[in-house]
Structure 1
């Protein structure tokens, strides 16, 4: 009826509601008890490398994260705030949690003793405590002691009656677990010469000791993704393919590894199959709705296909789960930018910069607000992160300070000055870089091609190769402003969208906010 009466908007709303009926809804933070597990103190009478304290924190965080009534603060945020010297109430406030868990692990020659305390976040007072002990073999070989007894006690103290948690095997190898924890710690650091290479080495060593260690296969998959994204790597697709092998091994051993499903979704973008990417992302979220890494990937995939309004609640939920991770605010900034919420985009962008991320998204939002001079200066200031947060394009050498400053001045003026001649000069430079760089689809060319509204170059890049390092730029396609709008309104855009699988994704998951239906059929 709606189609025959020509009510396109009503038809779109009904169609979107029908498609969304079976999807897991974005979480509502107010319905959950928010909690953070702080790093445990380790008291060791023996010495040497031993990481049981980190293992207890990992097991608690993972177990609590599987309880639907709880939202566990992300590890990135907890690590940043816990080392800041704040009081317990200040930590709880910074993480937006109602309760904290702190504790210690004491190892002697005879046994292990683990102490835990549940803290009221507002007052800092202890409201529950427990202690478990045993030999190292008993503690490592019986993780259900932590996953069952301890978590049951915590839930009782918080007035929560969770469903029984599935038993988790993890590994019974103390050495494999130690290597796993070291590898994960390096993976989270990501940036730094040889950091991810060493992380992969440690995780592979753990798997040599225990090839059935599902969580370690997931961690190794993530390390390969991070290598493709955070290092000047010319084998980004090969790293993504290695990630797929590891993620599939994790899922074969433990089908509940939601994060592994999400990473499989990343690879589907490189295959120009966003339908499968979203299929994996929704399944990952069904399995691990309290995992910030899973939630942000679902939100980002929706952002990439232009469904910004649907993406926004997931992005906000990921920030609630992990509020001190700059990457998440970059996506929130882009989402508000796409929706025309300029004040909110600027606020998210400022938070992103405060957390150490480059300020290009903030700069473009400020320029759009009318302050071209301030936007240009913020964009230019990002050059100071070169060779640290911003790495040289793959296969190139670091710039001299003079070359760096000259390049970033042209880029800042091109993106933010609002002057046609500045834009034309930068577009010409981007075309030259695309023709000569070892990776012609590097994000240093792909991202600004979108911000500059350089339709032919942007469509050429993403038609040639989407990889884990440049797919992030797709979220910026959907701002209804000049000059970005020139890509979406280009006469070849729908054919481009067909080539990279976007049209198929829209037909299954709903059309973008800015394209209510296929204009080629209207």
Structure 2
């Protein structure tokens, strides 16, 4: 159903709002609130009824409700002063007062237009039935089970639109052109694969295709024993999802870079912010914050943009790049709190927002709980595992932290943030008393990002503790260049390390390397 009012069209089925024939980007809850007001335009709706309908009865602050009403008004060209479309009824609620006409949805857009529409909002993927190459028709059920597990797991990735099984399985046993599949299903990416069984060994291959160009983006092979068939399905689906989700994200970032229009949509701004964040240097982090703030201007409910902005403020702080530390901490904390509030069921928002929140408040228990919830929501999100590993490292849970880092590296072995995982596992080994292992992992991380202050400090400390004094001295020179204000005495203010003995061993190495007290 379409609702037409003023110069706006509200499309319920496609969840689109256009104004003066131009698409208007609104957050999902703002859209739901507008739709609720329009559908109940024959009466005044109370705040309680709106909260029950839009937020499912969860506790919502007065300021949050007010900001959403303001966002609705802004999206449709109204204001709190004029109230031409949405009227406030004192002590009662709100009423949609514009003249509204209803129309059935026109025929679906052409398939090419559908793809463009989806690409403008978020990436989309279809998982086709895997071919059974085993020569045993009875093994088709196993291949189908793997595909269904992959579809289910991908559906937990909130930024990814996943075609339902019933649609993608219509291509079973058909020789199809993947570009055509993309057009027919309106998706940007297609995952296809095959299964071959030899004795008790099963081999699964998968490949990710850019449906618009037919380009192969990723391919991998997985093997396992059939002894525990369901565990094998889980293992394969986790491996596939952990590998392809970052590949899709990277492909989307590259697509945004090639687009000459800067920040045409909230999603485009968000992708550009991610590209800068992954670079990780001082200038790039500043640009990332700008892009994420622009995303929030377009979509005030973007939990992920709030979380990424908060995380960038944390990254700026931990690397000593803040020119106004109090301001950065205040803004980072505000963004992190907003991300957690908006993204209770958003694994990405909980991951970055929860990690930043733990650093700014030094409340590691709350941060760990938020990261654990992110893993519950999306068990294949590598960043949730490795950032959860960092919090456990600071908390003193070294072995559990190492398990988290290792799981992240298995899920995403070519991740652009691999250097963070390597640096985290180095710190965990140091606190566990394994100096040489810590040094090896720190060296790996350093080669990937030489400006990572924590890792450079780790290099200095572990080199000194293992007797390589000259190498340690060179690392300390890099530390002092990266952050001249860092001292042995302020390590506890720099990183939220909870156990005194862990602070002591880190500090001892830095002191021996030549860092000033």
Structure with greater proportional strand content: 2
Larger radius of gyration: 2
Structure-1-length-normalised TM-score: 0.45
Structure-2-length-normalised TM-score: 0.45
